[in-house]
Amino acid sequence: MKSFSQSLDDYESWLAHELGGELVQEDMDEKHRKMRKEAFAFLRATYWRWVEIIYDVTPELAAMPQVLSIGDTHLENFGTWRDIEGRLVWGANDFDDAAIMPYGLDLVRLVASAILAEADDGISGRAIAELILAGYRRGLDHAAPVILERDHPWLRDKLMLGEDEREDFWKKYDELAPGSTPAPGRFVEALKYALPKGAGNVAPVPVTKGTGSLGRPRFVAYVREWRGGPVLREAKALVPSAWSLATSADQVVRTGVIAAGRMRSPDPHFEVTGRILVRRLSPNSRKIEIKTDAKTLLNGAMLELMGFEIANCHQDHAESAALIRGDLRSRGDDWLYEAASAAAHATEKEWKAYRTNAG
């Protein structure tokens, strides 16, 4: 297995090639800073490395049935949006690395992320694995989108922004400064067609967001006034899933396919065109982050619901649930905890070495 430093160099060279000169170096520097700071952020920023080492750490996962999966699954990969009926929906909302892979990898990565994010005196890794797996099993049997208009009031209360927070959300975009150079034409066109008719011509503004996607160009088009209020769209560059780098898998971008899966109620403004993802941003489209509310993310009900949502995502084909159920029956009670613990340990070890060597 190649060293982490060589792996990092190879991945960033591949990313620069895929982006064809659009790599944002300042964002790559920010990613490196985040990688040094904490193990959870390191996991988020290094999905390509996870792909390289996961079968060395947990070889038993390779034999699991393969389904269309999220790939870069972690605690912060869940949020809200409005569906075509205007209902508030919660679920997985980042599918940049979606690919066909063994179903257990999404579960293992989610549990590993929770272990790395958890304080020493919090919920145990074994309990985390049990809750997520229980939710996943429930989702296999009773798949359904997580609609917050009527159900899950505890989660709706956590996610709905108050007036001060809504004001802060829009103020952040009011204060955005134009980029030093114009946005590439493909982003201009994508955002132009994503805005509602009559919104006018808006110059896209570059933004820095995320962790794993840092380095890829990302722009927003902000209309301060359209029919009585503001409108906001975001366009982000897509590249093939890092899963293809170490597994010789195809390089098909499946972001839009999994987002619109048959067991989900997708955002009608979430659209993939070529290698650009465009989506609507608003105070109703948000997620809970570790730095602001780790207690909620690591709550038992939340972890169970995350497992449930992963099952929703894994059922792009009707026969998937039956195949997965059969495989789960062949495994012991602790397989998920043991695999996630090993993966978390390997990730933390590489993070500590990187932090030391990067100074």
Q: Is 87 exposed, middle or buried (0-12, 13-18, 19+ CB in 10 A)?
A: middle
Residues 277-325: pLDDT tens digits?
A: 999 999 988 888 888 888 889 999 999 999 999 999 999 888 999 999 9
- What is the predicted pLDDT for the residue at 178? 84
For residue 87, the cross-strand partners are none
Q: What is the pLDDT of residues 38-53, one digit of tens each?
A: 999 999 999 999 999 9
Give the per-residue pLDDT at 162: 87
Cβ neighbours around 97 below 10 Å, total: 28
- Report the share of the chain in percent with pLDDT over 90: 81
Give the sheet arrangement for strand 78-82, strand by strand.
78-82, 88-92, 146-147
Assess whether pLDDT exceeds 70 at residue 359: no
- Asked if pLDDT for residue 177 goes beyond 90, the answer is no
Start-end of H helices in 175-285 = 185-194, 243-247, 255-259
User: And the tokens for 288?
Assistant: 């809970």
Q: Which has the minimum average pLDDT: 115-124, 233-242, 347-356?
A: 115-124
User: Mean pLDDT over residues 153-181, rounded?
Assistant: 88
* Percent of the chain predicted with pLDDT > 70: 99
- In sequence order, the 6+-apart residues with CB closer than 8 A to the CB of 88 are 80, 81, 82, 147, 148, 149, 156, 159, 284
Say what the pLDDT of residue 69 is: 98
Query: What's the whole-model pTM score?
Result: 0.95
Question: Nearest Cα to 302, choosing from 126, 156, 167?
Answer: 156
pLDDT band at 107 (very low <50, low <70, confident <90, very high): very high
Confirm if 198 and 223 have CB atoms less than 8 A apart.
no
Helix axes of 47-57 and 4-19: crossing angle, nearest 10 degrees: 140
**Does pLDDT of 248 surpass 90?**
no
Task: Quote the pLDDT of residue 179.
Answer: 80
Q: What is the pLDDT of residue 121?
A: 60
Report yes or no: 221 and 195 within 8 Å, Cβ to Cβ.
Answer: yes
Q: What is the model's pLDDT at position 155? A: 92
Which of 75, 80, 103 is closest to 93 using CA atoms? Answer: 80
